[in-house]
Amino acid sequence: MKITVILCTYNRCETLAKALESISASILPSEIPWEVLVVDNNSRDQTREVVEKFCSRYPSHFRYMLEPQQGKSYALNTGIRQARGNVLAFTDDDVVVEPTWLQNLSAPLDDGKWAGVGGRVLPERTFSPPSWIAHKDRYALAPLAVFAPDIEAGPLNEPPFGANMAFQKRLFEKYGGFRIDLGPRPGSQIRSEDTEFGDRILAAGELLFYQPSAIVYHSVPQERVQKKYFLAWWFDKARADIRASGIPADAKWCFAGIPLHLFRRLAAWTLRWLVAYRPAERFSCKLKVWGVAGTILECFRQSRAPR
């Protein structure tokens, strides 16, 4: 097994340095070759200088590559093409990984049974969630890239998050890379390029593994712990889901390309938002309203798109 960690970055040289420092301390058996391929997506800060310092310190473990085409999916796909490993691990430029992260994440892929692995993504240790977040909701912290299913190590029936996942390289050769109409890029913060790929291979019958002992801690900037950020994230997430899966095929009645049941759903969640008493429940309903609104907008746009 040879491992390539693909880390795409854009204008985050300070958090990038912390991420690379934590990865450089990775503990793996000496017989397993590994590398970190940092794909610079046309940064304008000191990103290249930061990466080149690690390349000088650890020449066998770090490489730098420039991808001038703006957009995270372009950078990810460039990393996949240039990777030397047959196992590709992915993480972000604003995380800190545990020393055993890479070993634990890649271990299930050694025997070929599992096509991919997802690990836990936790918020940085100093983070305390605000009272307006409904903590019991499964994906309450998804806008902060938190992925921590409460299950034991074993089969994973949902796509992992891009900050902590690994796949056999052959999957990208067989099923293609990350979709370039998804993923953040100038003028768009629509994401889900990672979960769309996971859904794609699950639909093809490939097996994924959940490895809770593979842990990364994701940075939580204060500007993300805001209601407006959560609302925008769920609005864009709903749009991404329609881009990935298309307008629901079972929608019998539509208006302007929009399934009519979405208007009923919008009205229902709006009513629940208006009458909810507890702040966390009230905001949770508001998030649902924004999500349905995003779905409606993207259905309309997809119905008007050239075919």
- Confidence band for 257, pLDDT divided at 50, 70 and 90: confident
Architecture (CATH level 2) of domain 3-221 = Alpha-Beta Complex (3.90)
Question: In whole angstroms, what is the distance from residue 212 CA to residue 210 CA?
Answer: 6
Confirm if 239 and 294 have CB atoms less than 8 A apart: yes
Q: How far apart are CA 124 and CA 131, in angstroms?
A: 18
User: How many CA within 13 A on the CB side of residue 192?
Assistant: 21
C-alpha–C-alpha distance, residues 237 and 190, integer Å: 7
Question: Residue 37: is its pLDDT beyond 90?
Answer: yes
CA dist 46 → 16, 52, 63, 131, 256 (Å) = 10, 10, 16, 37, 47
In this predicted structure, the answer to whether residue 262 has a pLDDT above a threshold of 90 is yes
Percentage of the chain modeled with pLDDT above 70: 99
More confident residue, 136 or 62: 62
User: What tens digit of pLDDT does each residue of 105-122 get?
Assistant: 999 999 889 999 999 999
Give pTM, 2 decimals.
0.94
Q: How far is CA 39 from the centre of its chain?
A: 16
Confidence of residue 254 (pLDDT cuts 50, 70, 90): confident
Q: What is the pLDDT of residue 13?
A: 97
Residue 248 has pLDDT above 80, yes or no: no
Task: State the chain's mean pLDDT as an integer.
Answer: 95
Distance (Å, whole) CA 234 – CA 287? 7
Task: For residues 78 and 89, give the distance between their C-alpha atoms in angstroms, rounded to a whole number.
Answer: 14
pLDDT of residue 189: 87
Least confident range of 56-65, 73-82, 135-144, 290-299: 135-144
Q: Is the pLDDT of residue 195 over 90?
A: yes
Confirm if 107 and 228 have CB atoms less than 8 A apart: no
